[in-house]
Amino acid sequence: MRLKFILLTLLFIIAVLPVDAQCAMCRAVIESDESGLVAKGINNGIVYLMMFPYLLIAGVGYAIYKSRKKAKKE
């Protein structure tokens, strides 16, 4: 129960943090744009694509945790 509370708390803290991420090529394109709309769109896309590997790793970790917990009970 305590682990679940800690994980949910960390998830909520991470979810509300503003994140800006740019690679070197994207930064060059964005610096030439004066409106800033391209930069916001690229940053949102990068964060969206970055989310899925972390979700997959979390899912695998949770599955391993559940299988080990089940093995200990038996």
10 domain-assigned: no
Residue 47 lies in a domain: yes
19: pLDDT strictly greater than 70: no
For residue 64, pLDDT over 70 is answered with: yes
Residue type, 54: Y
When the pLDDT of each residue in the chain is averaged and rounded to a whole number, the result is 83
The string of pLDDT tens digits covering residues 38-51 is 878 888 888 888 88
Query: Number of folded domains in the chain?
Result: 1
Print the domain residue range for 66. Answer: 20-73
Q: Is 8 contained in some domain?
A: no
For residue 25, being part of any structural domain is answered with: yes
- Are 44 and 22 in contact, with CB atoms under 8 Å apart? no
Asked if pLDDT for residue 62 goes beyond 90, the answer is yes
Q: Is residue 6 one of the residues assigned to a domain?
A: no
Q: Are 21 and 43 in contact (CB under 8 A)?
A: yes
Residues in the chain: 74
